[in-house]
Amino acid sequence: MPPLNGAPSWFKEARETPCPVHAAGRGRHHARGYVDRSLDNITSFTKRLIAMDNGTGGRGALQSIEPSARLFGLLAIALAAAITAHSIVLGLIILATAMLALGSRVGLVELVKRTAPSAVFAFIMMTPAFLGFIFPGEETLPMGPSAYKTALTSSQAAYGAPSVFFFVSRVVAVVSLAALLSLTTTPGALFNGLKRLKVPPLFVATLFMTFRYLFILLTIAEDAALAGKSRTIGRADTASSRRWFASRAALILKKAMNTADEVGMAMASRGFTGTFKTFTGPPLVGRDYLWIGFSLFVFFISLGF
């Protein structure tokens, strides 16, 4: 075997583990490089986009409702969940959401997966409330400087735990309704719904184009990350890693602006003058009115409780 005199030191090292790609830093925590992490982010986001574009328009209770009515109804119920100060109303909204999910052939597991991160975050954020330093009550054990006065209070049972439960329930209710909207509505239907709800056409058209361009820019970003990965064998230092990030970000920005120019010219050449012409969707039918009535009923109930 010829000697490796001219080879760089990293080439002579025997490693049993796969080479970390562009990993800045040391230790187990940084075993995966930031390019890998960026690639992971891009890949998982692309999968979500594709799933969203293709897989949310199945047949079910909510899917059968006209998109603008669906959007209006879910927003009205979300507003009701945000307004109510009564835990029973909140519980009923959560129950109704679960039933709607089942009726719309959205698995409860999927709904829980979408809602759980927000619920867990809200619970962790509210954990100090168990110590009672947020809610009124008689101090039993004062702690800390006055600005952050902390006290175990006699009111924990009355205020702390129920308040935490109520707050987390509210977050679960609203977030699960938002999740239900995205799980039962394709982006195209959502944008149509927004149009019928009189959201300005500029805003809706930009939303729609943004969603479409995401695929293009994601491809560019993925190519850039893969190119970085394939050209790197050893461990890159932080400075060169930063340079790589900046050059890729600027590249994506430049491509985005070039694409915008091309699309703008294509639109102008096809006669676009800044006026948005949109198709009117089918008229609302009985079940749409029924759904709107139900959601308004929940909304008005929440005003009284």
Partner 1 sequence: MHIPDGYLSPKTCGLFFAAMLPVWYAASRWTMRSPGFKGFPLLALGAAFSFIIMMFNVPIPGGSSGHMTGTVVLGIVLGPWAALIAGSITLALQALLFGDGGILAFGANSFNMALIMSFSGFYIYKALSFGTPGRVRGIVAPAVAGYVAINLCAFATALELGAQPIIAVDPQGVPLYAPYSLAITVPAMMIPHLLFFGPIEALGTALVLSYVRKQEITRHENAAYGGISTLMVGLLVLILLTPIGLIASGTPWGEWSVAEFSGLTGFVPAGMARLGEMWPGLAPDYGQAGQASVLVKAGYYVLSAIAGSAIIVFAIYLWGRLCRR
Among 102, 218, 296, 301, binds partner 1 (CB under 8 A): 218
Q: What angle do CA 211, 213, 219 make, to 5 degrees?
A: 115
Q: Single out the residue of 195, 183, 177 nearest to residue 92, CA to CA.
A: 177
SS3 297: helix
Contact call for residue 214 and partner 1 (CB under 8 A): yes
Q: Single out the residue of 219, 226, 216, 214 nearest to residue 33, CA to CA.
A: 226
Contact call for residue 256 and partner 1 (CB under 8 A): yes
Q: What is the C-alpha to C-alpha distance for residues 209 and 203, in angstroms, rounded to an integer? A: 10
Among 175, 189, 292, 298, binds partner 1 (CB under 8 A): 175
User: Binding segment for partner 1 among 9-17, 75-83, 93-101, 283-291 (CB under 8 A)?
Assistant: 75-83
Q: Single out the residue of 233, 239, 241, 238 nearest to residue 10, CA to CA.
A: 233
Among 213, 284, 294, 296, binds partner 1 (CB under 8 A): 213
Contact call for residue 82 and partner 1 (CB under 8 A): yes
Contact call for residue 203 and partner 1 (CB under 8 A): yes
Among 136, 271, 282, 304, binds partner 1 (CB under 8 A): 136
Q: Is the dihedral of CA 27, 31, 37, 38 positive or negative?
A: positive
Contact call for residue 301 and partner 1 (CB under 8 A): no
Among 63, 97, 104, 163, binds partner 1 (CB under 8 A): 163
**DSSP tag of 186:** -
Q: Looking at residues 12 to 71 of the shown chain, list those that interact with partner 1 (rule: CB under 8 A).
A: 24-27, 29-30, 34, 37-38, 41-42, 45, 48, 52
